[in-house]
Amino acid sequence: MTDASLNTPGAGPAAKPKSSLAVLDDRTKRRNASEARFKAYGLGAILIGIFFLVVLAVSIIRSGAPAFSRTVLDVEFNLSQEQVDGAEKELFKTKAYEQLFIAKLEEQLQASGMQVAFDAGAIERIVGKTGATIREHYKANPGDIGKPVSFELAASSRVDGYFNGRVTREALQDSRFLQLSDLDLVDALHDAGIIRGSFNWTFITGADSGVDNPGGAGIGASVVGSFFMMLVVLFLSLPIGVAASIYLEEFAKRNRFTDLIEVNISNLAAVPSIVFGILGLAVFIQFMHLPQSAPLVGGLVLTLMTLPTIIISTRASLNAVPPSIRDAALGVGASKMQAVFHHVLPLAMPGILTGTIIGLAQALGETAPLLLIGMVGFVARGYPDGIAAALPNRTRPCLPRSIHGRHAPM
């Protein structure tokens, strides 16, 4: 706008008589350069955004991928009835089993021609307490006594780290968790084929673990908890959301009450999620004494949180149904209710489902409100025990909360 006037004849026709459109003057060049710069800023902004997305994805995948593999020790084990009886007579029963295990391991190492000295402490640092695992197995399966059984024991998370490069010989400091000499043993075991990598099924199926054993943690129980919560959210928020939208879009008259509802919905959509957590804590737990950490309470809180999302998208898709559909239905004698439920709603259904899925995804990833109502993985670790617990009324850890518990620097 500002430059348009400069090329008018009044601005000094004699100054530059030979100006031509084919030759760019300085001013035009500057303007073109600034145009190119501006365009580059925009492109740069987009590229920065996409760059962040890629970095985020790569960093999450890189730090997450090792969790899917783990290091295990394969040990062929054969206990006779006498050995079991002997171990059961000892004062420290698991210790006795551990010694049996070490003897066996030594035997296997020697069989493959390795000669490495090690003690019980090293074994404990590498695979943790083995005695209890072995004892439990024989207690649970007395039939296995006298038969060869192959155990697959998970190595400690530091040994795991040694194999995928997280722990290096140079950086390792001797501690009660792992010593430099242990790594020699680990290498020997690796060469003998006793230690190998395998897919970490515990991570997929297991329950949350304590701080003492981060490598043994699984997401199984948390996924079940999240699933129950999503069921509650789906069964409450979809019908309520659709009903509310139908009322507001099709039936509500413009009055104070309708305005109040609409203002409330648009405000609730922007209320920070942690405030919904406070609501859940104060109303559902403090006032109504519903059980803490139950998927039911988590589901109720997340339902209230996702309702505005669902209502807003449902209203938009109801609004997008052409009025001719309603008019035609009314024209052939349907009541208003019939026109909406038989004709408008089915047409709006794809949009409604899209909105619902977005709302559910948002609820699935939500963490902050669940912290407040105590969906804590360390409190409730187990799987649902039986069909009664399949009703969302028991203490369940949920997925985002487990992630938080594992990394919170608190």
Rounded to whole angstroms, the Cα distance separating 113 from 331 reads: 92
Q: How far is the CB of 131 from other proteins (least distance, A)?
A: 24
Interaction of residue 408 with other proteins, rule CB under 8 A? yes
Comparing CA positions, the residue from 237, 219, 364, 370 lying closest to residue 294 is: 370
Size of the site for other proteins (CB under 8 A): 90
Interaction of residue 357 with other proteins, rule CB under 8 A? no
Range in contact with other proteins (rule: CB under 8 A) among 37-45, 160-168, 187-195, 214-222: 37-45
Q: Which of 144, 177, 367, 382 binds other proteins (CB under 8 A)?
A: 367
Please, which residue, 223 or 290, has the CB nearer to other proteins? 290
Rounded to whole angstroms, the Cα distance separating 148 from 374 reads: 46
Q: How far is the CB of 99 from other proteins (least distance, A)?
A: 32
Q: How far is the CB of 367 from other proteins (least distance, A)?
A: 4
Q: How far is the CB of 6 from other proteins (least distance, A)?
A: 9
Comparing CA positions, the residue from 125, 122, 145, 128 lying closest to residue 94 is: 128
Interaction of residue 267 with other proteins, rule CB under 8 A? yes
Q: Which of 35, 90, 107, 119 binds other proteins (CB under 8 A)?
A: 35
Q: For the chain, give the number of residues.
A: 410
- What are the beta bridge partners of residue 78? 148
Q: Which of 11, 16, 25, 44 binds other proteins (CB under 8 A)?
A: 44
The binding track of 287-306 with respect to other proteins, each residue x by CB under 8 A or -, is: xxxx-------------x--
What is the torsional sign of CA 100, 101, 104, 110?
Answer: negative
Interaction of residue 368 with other proteins, rule CB under 8 A? yes
282's tokens: 């104060």
403's tokens: 């992630």
The binding track of 326-355 with respect to other proteins, each residue x by CB under 8 A or -, is: ---------xxx------------------
Q: Which of residues 175-194 bind other proteins (CB under 8 A)?
A: none
- 154 sits in which H/E element: strand 148-154
Interaction of residue 129 with other proteins, rule CB under 8 A? no
355's tokens: 């909105």
Rounded to whole angstroms, the Cα distance separating 367 from 274 reads: 9
Which residues in 41-64 are b (16+ Cβ under 10 Å) and which e? eeeeeeeeeeeeeeeeeeeeeeee
Please, which residue, 53 or 349, has the CB nearer to other proteins? 53
Q: How far is the CB of 26 from other proteins (least distance, A)?
A: 15
Q: Which of 49, 86, 210, 346 binds other proteins (CB under 8 A)?
A: 49
Burial of 191 (0-12, 13-18, 19+ CB in 10 A): middle
Interaction of residue 229 with other proteins, rule CB under 8 A? no
Rounded to whole angstroms, the Cα distance separating 149 from 97 reads: 14
Interaction of residue 139 with other proteins, rule CB under 8 A? no
Interaction of residue 68 with other proteins, rule CB under 8 A? no
Is residue 125 within 8 Å of residue 156, measured between CB atoms?
yes
Please, which residue, 216 or 374, has the CB nearer to other proteins? 374
User: In Å, what is the CA distance from 155 to each residue of 112, 122, 123, 216, 367?
Assistant: 20, 12, 10, 10, 31
Q: How far is the CB of 245 from other proteins (least distance, A)?
A: 8
The binding track of 309-328 with respect to other proteins, each residue x by CB under 8 A or -, is: --x-----------------
